[in-house]
Amino acid sequence: MAREIRSEVLRRLQADYGLQPVQGTAYLRKGTCPSCGKRELYSRQDEPWFIRCGRESKCGEQWHVKELFEDLFDDWSKRAPATDDNPCATADSYLQFARGFDLGLIKGWYSQENYWDRDLGIGSATVRFALEKGGYWERLIDRPHRFGKKKARFAPGQSPRGHWWCPPCVDLLEVKELWIVEGIFDAIALLHHGIAAVAAMGSGYFPEESLKALARNRGGKLPRLVWALDNEPSGHRYTRKHVRLARELGYACEAAQIPQRERKVDWNDLHQRWAFIDDADKRAERIERDLAEARYHGALLIAESAAEKGMLMYDWRERLEFHFGFENRLYWFRMDVEKYNKARQQLENSDSHEDALLNEKQRREKALRQCGTVVEIANCYPQALYFQRNEVTDESWYYFRVDFPHDAPAVRNTFTGGQVAAASEFKKRLLGMAAGAVFTGSGAQLDKIMKDQLYGLKTVQTIDYIGYSKEHGCYVFGELAVRGGIVEKANAEDYFEFKQLRLKTLQKSIKLEIARDAQGYRAEWLDWLWTCFGAQGVIGLAFWFGSLFAEQIRAEFQSFPFLEVTGEAGAGKSTLLMFLWKLLGRPDEEGKDPSKMSRAGLRRWMGQVSGMPLVLLEADRNDNDRGPVKGYDWDELKPLFNGGTLGVTGVKTAGNETHEPPFRGTIAISQNATVAASEAILTRIVKLHFVRPSVTDASRVAADNLNHLTALDVSHFLLLAVKAEQAVLEVFRRQVRVHEQALRALGQIRVERIIKNHAQLMALVDALATIVPLSERQHGNALAELERMAVERQGAINADPLEVAEFWEVYEYLESIGDDPVVNHSKNEGLIAINLNEFCERAAEHRQKLADIATLRNLLKNSRSRPYVEANKCVDSAVRAAFNTRNPLAARSTTVKCWIFKKP
């Protein structure tokens, strides 16, 4: 290992895993194992390529440092630049240190070249190998993750089909056994251990021409072939196919498959693991054991019948009973020991000349074939993949894949603990999740199957929402996840695997349509948005964009603002909201009306997303068909401003545990009328108000274009944003303080919360400019509009809503009609007492316009010019007293229930 890399690896191993150097030895010890958590992790000090758990029988896991500290090993041009004296210095360093190869063995087989990707505008040094057919294959070695899946490439227009790559040191005319692997590095790795190997250059390539040429040159004395492709579904399929084709050409064939446990391992990985073993005898023993196990798994793969596979498994472990799969059916093997002993005795005492020629091993094999019983117990093959648990609710499931022998695709779903513990429940669940899947085994057989399949089963962490998981530092969007700027697709087992993290979401009700690559991305949407909505459209965009980082912002700044979108009917609010949702991959989405949802339904809806807006669409307060509709109580949103809990529910356990999910999203409110709420709510809101525009040809075309865009046309914006998480947050942190100081300097805003909210949105506009090409005009206008909105919000706090202001204007008018009180029943000079029903009656008599009484009851509680005191209080009425004085014969009770307000 290079000196500077070794020193950094040792530092990180001690800091991250607690490994400590042991004096007088070449080892680091007492580290904490990432798998079992015990302090028995160790590594070498001189060549710290691996860390390994010392609990060989109970854990024994090991990790290559490239898996742990990938950033130290992925930019080889920087670490070992090529020079005039050594133009292959980078390639040499990569092959020696990243692949563990002996350069003395492979020198001259390769060259160092360069590759430039025109589409991405990035390049890399490569290690290039010439191919027998012509052309070349090369591996990209400088931060290859930048190129996506393109980590290696063939010469443009060239294909290796039909021909293998043969190492120059392998004499094909002399070898007795030839291993065929997928890649060049796998072949070189095996060469280091005396195994003649060639590379087919891909699992799907059958080297037909090379095999035919070898048969011609060998004159019929053919070597035995060992097909050692990667242990994955495509490798299985092609191994069986290639074995069949090679046998037709006259070759004797075997197979080898490396068992895959926690992580994918290929022959190059095994070579590096073997090199980690110091003792030569132990290393030779480990190599022999690993190769024998690989041959055994290869033999199972190409077995031609269930009986043959069962016998192979019995020979390997000599278990009397076990389950196994063959051609996607589940079988049960049982060895009848009594029958076996009788068969052995008969063979030993047989007078048959053929039996007399058998040796001890052959007699045993023949007796075993007669006594092993193979029975099908399911017409499919269920396989436990992993264990998943919801830590909050203490619910857990086993996640299974069910494969079928016919062409039906595999089915994946969960089983509870009770369903895997009883044969009857297992049978019912299997039938329920996969059409026609029938299990006919017994309870004892199921117990043994589950004991084998569930032992050491990996665990996957779960979340019950989509979006950003603060605990894991990861965005999860259905089938895509982003962590540290890297986009990953859900694997074949439906979860995301990152370094030391397996994660999946249980949320299935929200479907996202996200364009993973930039091909087809319609960047012109920004111009159309500006044409339709101007600076307010950019501000709405900044809020949707900032919602992606709301969890991070609240963690550092303790709050994230609410957005209010109001305006006249036909002003374009729905067009804007539905387009903004498309940017996040949610087509046909606008929002939900909270007044039409139950409390439990509203709480669940608000808990479905993290780092995304939740749009509250408030229904009209009056519906002529249904009568008055109760408006939503906006004060319920107060705790959500700081990411508080959505509510408390009990957990179904024997204890007193509760579930208090935090609010992880953001709040947007869209309605025609202005939100009428307490000052505490109004100061949490950033308000956009839209008026019906003067439509032009350009704006009409732009609006039509926005409406016709699909989520797949623009949702790549979502990935562009979250991949730039760190850059966005750096801009936000820097700019939010700048804008706070600028708003304070205006001197017109006295509420600190208003300054903070609008400064945050201004900083998000600045950060947005790093993702989309905002012009200086667009950027400046959006900031100026936010400044105006902040001043306006301060004014809105000081003033009453329009309906309340009109109410008090009517009050002043009615009270000015005569000398006696008309609607104010209070005898206290400092208070106003109004009976709302009587007030509305007097207003109607004098033809004064008022909001409906239901609206007034809701809004008057937040009256600012005459602060609300209490409702429905019995008062001694000044109005009735004056009436009784004027009309003693028609005297009325002076007690009236009134709403009480303070006089200004």
β-sheet with 411-415: strand ranges across = 411-415, 395-403, 381-390, 459-463, 501-505, 496-498
pLDDT at 219 over 70: yes
> Which band of pLDDT confidence, cut at 50, 70 and 90, is reported for residue 667?
very high
> Percentage of residues in the chain with pLDDT exceeding 70?
95
In this structure, what token pair is assigned to residue 448?
Answer: 């043994």
Position 854 confidence tier, pLDDT thresholds 50, 70, 90: confident
Closest by CA position to 200, among listed 214, 180, 186, 215: 180
pLDDT class of 73 with cuts at 50, 70, 90: low
C-alpha 29/C-alpha 19 separation (Å) is 5
Given a cut of 50, whether residue 241 has pLDDT beyond it is yes
User: Is it the case that residue 372 has pLDDT exceeding 70?
Assistant: no
DSSP bridge partners of 123? 116
Residue 365 pLDDT: 66
Question: What is the percentage of the chain residues whose pLDDT exceeds 90?
Answer: 48
CA-CA distance, 276 to 46, in Å (whole number)?
Answer: 11
Residue 805 confidence (pLDDT) above 80: yes
Tokens of 638: 């107060």
Residue 623 has pLDDT above 50, yes or no: no
Could you give the angle at which helices 776-798 and 752-768 cross, rounded to 10 degrees?
Answer: 160
Which tokens sit at 902? 């303070």
344 vs 442, higher pLDDT = 442
Q: Answer yes or no: is pLDDT of 247 > 90.
A: yes
Residue 366 has pLDDT above 80, yes or no: no
Backbone angle region of 891, left / alpha / beta, with phi > 0 → left and psi within -120 to 50 → alpha: beta
Q: Report the greatest alpha carbon distance in the chain.
A: 139
Predicted pLDDT of residue 261: 73
Higher pLDDT, 616 or 802: 616
Q: Tell me the average pLDDT across 212-237.
A: 91
Starting at the edge strand found earlier in the chain, the sheet holding 868-876 runs 831-834, 895-902, 868-876
Report the pLDDT value the prediction gives residue 626, as an integer from 0 to 100: 44
Residue 712 has pLDDT above 50, yes or no: yes
pLDDT score at 630: 54
pLDDT, one tens digit per residue, over 267-308 is: 999 998 888 787 888 889 999 999 999 999 999 999 988 888
**Residue for token pair 């190769």:** 291
Q: 314-327 pLDDT, tens per residue?
A: 888 888 889 999 99
Does the structure show a pLDDT above 60 at 621?
A: no
Residue 515 near residue 712, CB atoms below 8 Å: yes
| Tokens 């895959």, located at residue | 260
Q: Rounded to whole angstroms, what are the CA distances from 372 to 57, 311, 340, 732?
A: 31, 7, 8, 70
User: 73 near 93, Cβ under 8 Å?
Assistant: no
pLDDT of 629 above 50: no
Rounded to an integer, the average pLDDT of 575-581 is 92
271-285, 523-537, 790-804: which has the highest mean pLDDT?
523-537
Q: For the segment 748-786, what is each residue's pLDDT rounded down to a tens digit?
A: 888 899 999 999 999 999 999 999 999 999 999 999 999
What's the pLDDT score for residue 754?
Answer: 92
Alpha helices in 224-302 (DSSP H): 233-248, 267-275, 280-301
Query: For residue 387, is pLDDT > 70?
Result: yes
> Residue 477, SS3?
strand
- CA 614-616-620 angle, to 5 degrees, is 170
The span from the CA of 766 to the CA of 735, in Å, is: 7
CA-based nearest residue to 298, from 262, 277, 267, 331: 267
Q: What pLDDT, on a 0 to 100 scale, did the predictor assign at position 746? A: 87
Please name which of 878, 879, 871, 876 lies closest in space to residue 900, comparing C-alpha atoms. 871
Which of 25-29, 123-127, 129-133, 537-541 is the least confident region?
A: 25-29
Question: Which residues fall within 8 angstroms of residue 207, CB to CB, at 6 or more apart?
Answer: 162, 163, 164, 180, 198, 200
Signed CA dihedral, 180, 182, 185, 186: sign only: negative
* DSSP H or E segment with residue 798: helix 776-798
Confidence band for 239, pLDDT divided at 50, 70 and 90: very high
Nearest of 111, 89, 92 to residue 103 by alpha carbon: 92
Average pLDDT of the chain, as a whole number = 87
Quick: pLDDT tens for 273-283.
Answer: 888 787 888 88
Task: Provide DSSP, 557-584.
Answer: HS---EEEEEE-TTSSHHHHHHHHHHHT
* 674 within 8 A of 690, measured Cβ to Cβ: no
Beta strands in 354-421 (DSSP E): 372-378, 381-390, 395-403, 411-415
Question: In 422-452, which positions are buried (b, 16+ CB within 10 angstroms) versus exposed (e)?
Answer: ebeebbebbeebbeebebebeeebbebbbee
Q: Which amino acid is at 197?
A: A
Overall average pLDDT of the 688-713 stretch: 88
* 70 has pLDDT over 50: yes
Residues 6+ apart with CB under 8 A from 170: 191, 196, 197, 198
Report the C-alpha gap between 183 and 167 in whole angstroms: 12
Contact indicator for 371, 336 with CB cutoff of 8 Å: yes
**Locate tokens 């869209």: which residue?**
670
Mean pLDDT of the 435-444 span: 92
Q: How many other β-carbons are positioned within 10 Å of the β-carbon of residue 740?
A: 18
What pLDDT does residue 631 have? 61
Domains of the chain: 3-72 (no CATH), 82-159 (no CATH), 167-302 (3.40.1360.10), 321-377 (no CATH), 380-457 (no CATH), 461-505 (no CATH), 525-798 (3.40.50), 802-902 (no CATH)
Flag the least confident range among 233-247, 469-483, 615-629: 615-629
CA distances to 292, 320, 438, 727, 885 from 323, in Å: 22, 11, 16, 53, 101
Decide: helix, strand or coil at residue 153: strand
pLDDT the model gives residue 354: 63
What pLDDT is attached to residue 375?
A: 87
Residue 128: closest CA among 159, 80, 95: 95
In this predicted structure, the answer to whether residue 63 has a pLDDT above a threshold of 90 is no
